[in-house]
Amino acid sequence: MKNILFALLAAFLLIGCGSNATDNQNIEPKLVVGKTLNNLTFDDQFGKSHTLSPNTYKLVFAFAKAPAHICNDFFDTKPDDYLAKHNAEFIADVSAAPSLIRSMFVLPGLKELKHTVLVINDRAVAAPYRKGMDTEKIVVVSIINKKITDIKTISTAEELQKTLEDDSPISILAPMINEALDTANNMMK
């Protein structure tokens, strides 16, 4: 009897946690150079809704467990305001994790982090961001006026640090340009 219950439980978990892969054929990718990211809103690990800050210049995406761990381990070594200081947002796609694992382990684990993690928790929402991306790497998207100007993939904490701490003229000017354009757009409404 115990074996039958165990087998039923295992079957339930495998069926209930199985892949619900969506048909990505007809999904338009969102992360494309030249495309605008209007109304980009995600909840953080505590359920608080966030939209892009006017001075955000870089979006760091982690679509899989390994790149997310690299990012979280890196950000854990930095001051609490590191992302804000570098005009960046960190977005973790946890939608691929089975729902039971996600609710029991992944989301509670994210709440222990000191940095803000914007969370993609739904496969349908994640699909257009994932489409065309190397999901096994960290994806860094640069934006000016919410328009994607560059997309790069990186693999290490060292590359992440170099990318976020870039002191090129555009990295210094872009957040100011973003904020000025946001102010101008708000004044014209």
pTM above 0.95, yes or no: no
How confident is the model over 38-65, as pLDDT tens digits? 889 999 999 999 998 888 999 999 999 9
Among candidates 180, 186, 137, 170, which has minimal Cα distance to 58?
A: 170
Sheet hosting strand 147-154, strand order edge to edge: 49-51, 41-44, 118-120, 88-93, 58-62, 138-144, 147-154
Residue with tokens 């489409």: 131
Kindly list the structural domains of the chain, giving each domain's residue range(s) and its CATH number in brackets, ordered by start: 29-188 (3.40.30.10)
Confidence of residue 24 (pLDDT cuts 50, 70, 90): low
